[in-house]
């Protein structure tokens, strides 16, 4: 561990605003006893309500967290409060008590077994007979999907508007059985398309993109290597992290952490962390996943910049990365950005390479908020070009901008720009 985290990095760990607020009340030295830290862990005992005493600790290498309180939030307010005290220098170095040493030892043991299982699974996945069997199952599943798509169009979209969720869920389950998991998620998401004007057009577009993917997979041997990798990834074939680190394109840059967003599907939480290279201007995406009760990677803090080398996953338009090596600590920084026109050019080039893109990162410089005649909120740059915003709660962004220019980072989707972070001259980085 290179040093103590600042309060911003600790605040970024909070699972929600309520936990972050409650942590401030817990971060009082008088409420703690037996606190200590070393190069890998922080620990302490917090006085709760009545006679309750909660043991809290954090494994900084993960990071991972543990507390004996009944809260289901990870990290809970006690862990966050402990980390705030540690960040402020109110926790001194010391020797680990037995309960902390035991927990960390058990974590290391579980991590070692998980790596062994992962290595065994990877070896099995590379077995030629296993690969051949899966290819056949995927091909059969995609053939069935192709027929299903043609049936939907043949019967018309009118009945789909009132169809139950099972129409898409049944098709998605069959794709799971065919080991085409990523494609299954795309089919299941069709049920969530908002029933609003233009809905049939949107549904037909999604059906067409799915059919295009099916056709592309059938002709994968004829495709350029990058596009073939993209098609396989969209269907559900994964690339081992060791292969990415060994064979992927490596780029060293000062990477600005421009935004982060967590989504939950089928009890699996996915964290998307967006990066933007200071010198290269390239976007990059770091994904992490966590089952219920597990913690997500919190090592990349929004509003900071880190000198690092990343390895890109293969694809027609490489975007997802693994952080291969860091060359220094993260420091607060604002990213460079583009105009609206520059962003649209980048997005058009990305879609031309990968027509199945669901979202693309945007970092816009010197944009202001504006409201159109119909009431929708937009961001407008100095040239007068605008993009529609998609946000259920615009008030934090409105308050931060105050009518002035900001640097705004977000995710561009077919529905508009979902804001993630704003940089304002006085406030610095503000997660939205």
Assess whether pLDDT exceeds 90 at residue 113. Answer: no
CA-based nearest residue to 235, from 277, 299, 286, 187: 187
pTM beyond 0.85: no
Mean pLDDT across 358-381: 88
Mean pLDDT across 76-92: 93
In percent, how much of the chain has pLDDT > 90? 54
pLDDT of residue 160: 80
Tens of pLDDT, residues 279-336: 999 999 999 988 766 677 778 888 899 999 999 999 999 999 999 999 988 888 999 9
Confidence of residue 30 (pLDDT cuts 50, 70, 90): very high
Per the listing, tokens 């599943």 go with 141
Mean pLDDT across 364-373: 88
Assess whether pLDDT exceeds 50 at residue 1. Answer: no
Confidence of residue 414 (pLDDT cuts 50, 70, 90): confident
pLDDT of residue 124: 59
CA-based nearest residue to 254, from 304, 311, 308: 308
Assess whether pLDDT exceeds 80 at residue 98. Answer: yes
How far apart CA 302 and CA 230 sit, in angstroms, is 28
Mean pLDDT across 66-71: 90
Confidence of residue 121 (pLDDT cuts 50, 70, 90): low
Mean pLDDT across 135-162: 89
pLDDT of residue 99: 93
Per the listing, tokens 């720009």 go with 417
CA-based nearest residue to 257, from 324, 306, 309, 297: 306
Mean pLDDT across 162-179: 88
Mean pLDDT across 230-242: 92
Which region among 28-37, 121-130, 297-306 has the lowest average model confidence (pLDDT)?
A: 121-130
Which comes out higher in pLDDT, residue 111 or 337? 337
Confidence of residue 43 (pLDDT cuts 50, 70, 90): very high
Which region among 24-33, 116-125, 161-170, 335-344 has the lowest average model confidence (pLDDT)?
A: 116-125
- Quick check: 337 and 365 in contact, CB under 8 A? yes
3-state secondary structure the chain: CCCCCCHHHHHHCCCCHHHHHHHHHHCCHHHEEEEEECCCEEEEEEECCCCCEEEEEEECCCCEEEECCCCCCCCCHHHHHHHHHHHCCCCCECCCCHHHHHHHHHHHHHHHHHHHHHHHHHHHHCCHHHHHHHHHHHHHHHHHHHHHHHHHHHHCCHHHHCCCCHHHHHHHHHHHHCCCHHHHHHHHHHHHCCCCCCHHHHHHHHHHHHHHHHHHHHCHHHCCHHHHHHHHHHHCCCCCHHHHHHHCEEEEEEEEEEEEEEEEECCEEEEEEEEEECCCCCEEEEEEEECCCCCCCCCCCCCEEEEEEEEECCCCCCCEEEEEEECCCCEECCCCCECHHHHHHHHHHHHHHCCCCCCEEEEEEEEEEEECCCCCEEEECCCCCEEEECCCCCHHHHHHHCCCCEEEEEEEECCEEEEEEEEECCCEEEEC
Which comes out higher in pLDDT, residue 403 or 126? 403
For all residues of the chain together, what is the average pLDDT? 88
Which of 2.40.50, 3.40.50, 1.10.3470, 1.20.1250 is the CATH number of 248-332?
2.40.50
pLDDT of residue 75: 86
Mean pLDDT across 163-173: 87
Q: Which residues, 6 or more positions from 79, have their beta carbon under 8 angstroms from its beta carbon?
A: 56, 57, 58, 65, 66, 67
How far apart CA 8 and CA 13 sit, in angstroms, is 9
How far apart CA 212 and CA 218 sit, in angstroms, is 10
Confidence of residue 16 (pLDDT cuts 50, 70, 90): confident
């Amino acid at each position: 561990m290179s040093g103590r985290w600042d309060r911003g990095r600790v605040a970024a760990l909070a699972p929600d605003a309520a936990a972050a607020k409650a942590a401030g009340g817990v971060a009082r030295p008088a409420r703690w006893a037996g606190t200590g830290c070393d190069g890998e862990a922080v620990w302490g005992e917090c006085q709760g309500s009545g006679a309750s005493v909660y043991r809290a600790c954090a494994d900084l290498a993960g990071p991972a967290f543990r507390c004996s309180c009944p809260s289901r939030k990870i990290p809970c307010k006690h862990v966050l409060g402990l980390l705030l005290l540690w960040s402020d220098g109110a926790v001194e170095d010391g020797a680990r008590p037995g309960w902390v040493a035991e927990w960390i030892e058990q974590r290391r043991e579980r991590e070692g077994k998980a790596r062994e299982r992962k290595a065994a699974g990877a070896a099995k996945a590379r077995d030629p007979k296993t690969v051949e069997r899966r290819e056949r199952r995927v091909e059969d599943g995609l053939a069935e999907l192709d027929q299903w798509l043609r049936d939907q169009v043949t019967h018309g979209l009118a009945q789909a508007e009132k169809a139950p969720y099972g129409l898409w869920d049944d098709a998605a389950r069959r794709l799971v059985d065919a080991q085409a998991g990523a494609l299954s998620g795309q089919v299941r998401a069709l049920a969530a398309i908002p029933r609003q004007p233009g809905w049939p057009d949107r549904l037909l577009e999604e059906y067409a993109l799915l059919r295009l993917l099916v056709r592309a997979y059938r002709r994968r041997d004829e495709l350029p290597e990058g596009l073939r990798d993209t098609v396989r990834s969209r269907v559900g074939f994964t690339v081992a992290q060791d292969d990415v680190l060994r064979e992927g394109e490596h780029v060293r840059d000062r990477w600005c952490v421009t935004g982060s967003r967590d989504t939950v599907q089928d009890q699996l939480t996915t964290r998307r962390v967006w990066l933007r290279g200071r010198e290269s201007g390239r976007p990059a995406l770091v994904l992490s996943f966590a089952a219920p009760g597990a913690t997500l990677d919190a090592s990349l803090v929004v509003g900071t910049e880190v000198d690092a080398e990343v390895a890109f996953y293969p694809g027609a338009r490489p975007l997802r990365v693994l952080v291969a090596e860091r060359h220094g600590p993260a420091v607060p920084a604002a990213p460079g950005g583009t105009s609206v026109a520059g962003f649209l050019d980048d997005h058009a080039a990305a879609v031309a390479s990968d027509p199945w893109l669901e979202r693309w990162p945007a970092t816009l410089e010197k944009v202001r908020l504006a409201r159109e005649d119909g009431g929708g909120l937009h961001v407008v740059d100095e040239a007068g070009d605008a993009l529609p915003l998609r946000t259920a709660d615009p008030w934090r962004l409105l308050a931060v901008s105050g009518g002035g220019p900001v640097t705004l980072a977000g995710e561009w989707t077919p529905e508009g720009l979902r804001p993630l972070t704003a940089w304002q001259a006085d406030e610095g980085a503000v997660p939205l």
